[in-house]
Amino acid sequence: MTDTLVFPAEALVAAVTAVVRAAGSSEREAAQVAANLVEANLRGHDSHGVGMVPRYIDAVLEGGLKLDAHVAVRADSGALLTLDGCQGYGQVIGAEAMALGIERAKAHGVCVVGLAHSHHLGRIGHWAEQCIDAGLVSIHFVNVLSRPIVAPFGGRDARIGTNPFCVGIPRPGKEPIVLDFATSKIAQGKTRVAFNKGVELEPGTIIDDHGEPTTNPRYTVIEPIGALLPFGEHKGSGLALICELLGGALAGGATAGPVTDGRRRVLNSMFSIIVDAGKLGTAANLAQEMESFVAWSTASPPAPGVERVLTPGEPERAMRAARLVAGVPVDAVTWGEIVAAGGKVGLPAGEIEAMVRRR
Ligand code: NAD
């Protein structure tokens, strides 16, 4: 096990802003990227938090991540928008795409957004939360263009990405429902976190480079690469395929295939459906049925070792509340990689270290 450092969230935002800024982004972009990544850490998804910074910086240096890019509208028929993310920071592109989609969903009752060629969109729940803040329901199918890392059900090597699926539903006067997960058994970043921490994975999560079961996270982090397995066997694998076809193809992007150039960029395409239940005429019914169903289903007697039945989104909110108080843990290897990424773009290690007050 490696050491874990703990930082106040705002100190981590300042340090990451400085690294992203040093790589050439505007102050605004750097702040947006840093706030989004730290938010993922706060919500307990360290796989999509500040640990992504070294990869982003490499992608900038290789030219696969374009600085200060904005969404470009490729087709617009009112309630349908086809957008190009122009390989810009997903933290900016995702926010711009959702803002456009929200505006249209408010006007027309629904907006279908095809967003292609964004750089990594991070935690997809962030985009559902943006829609929730506007009072809207949203569904998101996402594909990942990077080196394939997930084996299809029945296969022995990696052919697809971790293709996340997400649904957000606002609950008037209550905390929302946010279901947001990778279609692999665990998110790829979680294997990186395990590798950096020096811990084993649960059995049944990954296979090695010969297609054999293993618990060693190295097989999804360093050569020779094996594969993550899909969640829910053929069902998760089927949903991953749908994310590929809707999130990748229908949204106007590309689908997964062999990547041989070894580049560090990771591109996402996302197919989103944003719905105004008020305009659908079902807002009152949704609110009433949702409350009675949530009360009914969460009243199930807890299984051994379980405190109570939760709704999707609750674990992240609880983690956020705890980490805002206790600080954000970052393992020492990941922190070292972030400091080294700063060094690659001319930010001295001492300057980054000076920005963080460790707990
Ligand atoms: P996960 O396995 O932790 O599942 C998270 C989901 O399950 C959340 O909706 C959470 O609220 C819910 N949940 C967890 N425990 C629960 C419980 N006890 N009861 C009820 N609901 C519960 O998530 P993951 O698959 O590791 O994905 C992590 C993140 O990675 C997600 O935010 C996802 O969007 C992101 N991701 C992004 C990409 C990308 O390319 N941008 C790719 C893959 C994953």
Domain boundaries, the chain: 1-62+328-359, 71-184+232-326, 196-229
**Residue ID of nearest Cα to ligand 1 atom 15:** 315
For residues 170 and 203, is the Cβ–Cβ distance under 8 A? no
How far does residue 182's CA lie from ligand 1's centre (Å)? Answer: 6
Q: Where does ligand 1 bind, in terms of residues with CB under 6 Å?
A: 45, 47-48, 120-125, 142, 144, 162, 164, 166, 178-182, 186-187, 190, 268, 310, 312-313, 315-316
For residues 267 and 144, is the Cβ–Cβ distance under 8 A? yes
pLDDT of residue 190: 84
pLDDT of residue 358: 56
pLDDT of residue 114: 98
Cis preceding-peptide flag for 164 (omega within 30 of 0): no
Which of 124, 179, 181, 185 for mutating ligand 1's site (highest number of atoms within 8 Å of CB)? 181
Instruction: Please state, in angstroms and rounded to a whole number, the distance separating the CA atoms of residues 138 and 351.
Output: 41
pLDDT digits (tens, 9 = 90+) for 15-66: 999 999 999 999 999 999 999 999 999 999 998 999 999 999 999 999 999 9
**Residue ID of nearest Cα to ligand 1 atom 41:** 122
313-327: average pLDDT: 98
* CA angle (144 as vertex; 167, 15 as ends), nearest 5: 85
Instruction: Please state, in angstroms and rounded to a whole number, the distance separating the CA atoms of residues 204 and 233.
Output: 11
Query: Which numeric CATH code is attached to 71-184+232-326?
Result: 3.30.1370.60
How far does residue 13's CA lie from ligand 1's centre (Å)? Answer: 22
110-115: average pLDDT: 98
Residue among 51, 93, 94, 34 at smallest CA distance from 68: 93
177-195: average pLDDT: 92
239-258: average pLDDT: 97
pLDDT of residue 192: 85
**Residue ID of nearest Cα to ligand 1 atom 44:** 182
Confirm whether pTM is higher than 0.85: yes
How far does residue 344's CA lie from ligand 1's centre (Å)? Answer: 31
Judge whether residue 359 has pLDDT over 60.
no
**Residue ID of nearest Cα to ligand 1 atom 18:** 310
How far does residue 337's CA lie from ligand 1's centre (Å)? Answer: 24
| 182-193 core/surface letters (b: 16 or more CB in 10 A; e: else) | bbbbbbbbbbbb
Q: Which fold has domain 1-62+328-359?
A: Hypothetical Oxidoreductase Yiak; Chain: A, domain 1 (1.10.1530)
**Residue ID of nearest Cα to ligand 1 atom 32:** 123
Q: Do domains 1-62+328-359 and 71-184+232-326 have the same CATH topology?
A: no
